[in-house]
Copies of this chain bind each other. A is one copy, B any other.
Amino acid sequence: MFPQEEFLTRYLALQSVSLHADNQIQETAEFLRQHFEQIGAQNVQILTTKVTNPAVYAEIPAQVPSTVTVLFYNHYDVQPAEPLDLWESDPFTLTQKDGVLYGRGINDDKGELAARLAAIQDLRDAGQLPVNVKFLIEGAEEQGSPNLPVLLDQYRDLLAADFCIWESGGKDESGKMKVSLGVKGGVAFQLDVRNADHDLHSSLAAITVNPAWRLVQALATLKDANDEITIPGFLEEITPLTATQKQIVADSEFDYDAYAQNVGLTHAATVADPAAALVAKPSLTINGLSSGYEGPGTGKMVLPHAASAKLDLRIVPGQTVAHTVALVRAALDANGYQDIVLSKVLGEPPFRSDPDHPLVQTALATAKQAYPEGVAVALNSAGSGPMPYFYAINHAPIISVGVANANSAAHGPNENVVLADYMQFITYLKLLLPALAAK
């Protein structure tokens, strides 16, 4: 039996697939509520908002006098297990084989919660839980956490904390422990160009503005031939890195060749330092293009009456969702594309915990103790997420650490966690919590 094996067996068996209509979301929330009651947690609650699935909240008070509160963020919902035929074991049965644990959610994010509970249980069993612990375990992360901003605002007082331990993270390809201190912001929007009531015959092209061409030419003004963003003012708003942050970026590594081979890239990297670009360079991505005739064969000599592009921006601290979109709008206008409609704006801001914050330094120093194979610190992940909303309510620094390995297949078949990594993560938390308490 490994720590929390019984809990994890029951937790994994619950099909809390938030993207499926026929799921066990309610049962899983109730299971967690009962479990926290059982282990003697306090103030256990199911938190609801008007949007989507409930979250589970629980407190475990320090066993020694402590002024430090640590908030753990996890989620109990999981991705669908399909395609089922690619699994080598039942996805909803915890399976152990050759030192590896398998099951849907074993990494993302049920196994992570189990390891956290194991560390806390060990400390409590020794009568030494050194910090006040809070858990917020939401049920719609795999839906994009649509409830989280509302929920955080609604339960702002309940969620007060000095330090926040985020979900996800683990070991990278080289076996180093990744600790991420933030997220890039993400901004989605759409551009639409129209002319005429319906598609026309392309024999009229010599005298008619083609929305597809206009979209292409407008987009081309937003980047240069080297793929660099040319939106006026866009790059000027970026907050310069501190000395510590610069050092973290300089120390970071990314094996572009391994990545390229893994996903089948045929084009060379666009930047000299991919590791730095991933954390610190904003990007403007065309997610989709759509116009005119897209079926088989030739283009049917059609002159489209509409064209649209879906795009996203990844932004970094200093940039905001609203202002970067305004700069895109201004760039289009300045280039004569006032007619292009910009709509469907959705975004999450960027966020980085201050690496000079004493609790962050403690977390990194402790990680180096627990992970002699090395620690890879990231200023922020390349992706986006609701981390900034947590920071907004209590200004506590946030780090992402977890039990993954480079082949954990978080959303894929045969999702897995190496048992030794699970145990090492428990050890790390048992060093981390007392260290945080000592600050």
Contacts and interface: CB of A to CB of B under 8 A. Distances in A.
Given A206-B382, A225-B217, A289-B307, A198 B263 contact: yes
B202 A287 contact: yes
A47 interface: no
Main secondary structure on A side of the interface with B: mixed
Q: How many copies does the complex hold?
A: 2
Nearest to A346: B298
A184 interface: yes
A274 B274 CA distance: 50
A307 B309 CA distance: 12
A281 B206 contact: yes
A265 interface: yes
A35 interface: no
Contacts of A203: 184, 278, 314, 381-384
A83 interface: no
B220 A298 contact: no
B209 A267 contact: yes
Interface string A272-305: 0010011001111111111111100111111110
A347 to B, nearest CB: 10
B310 A206 contact: no
Interface stretch (A19-27, A110-118, A186-194, A398-406): A186-194
B202 A227 contact: no
Interface of A: 184, 186, 188-190, 194-198, 200-210, 212-217, 219-220, 223, 225, 227, 254, 256, 259, 263-271, 274, 277-278, 281-294, 297-304, 307, 309-312, 314, 336, 339, 344, 346, 381-384
Query: Closest 7 A-B residue pairs measured CB to CB?
Result: A287-B299, A299-B310, A220-B220, A197-B264, A188-B298, A209-B267, A205-B283
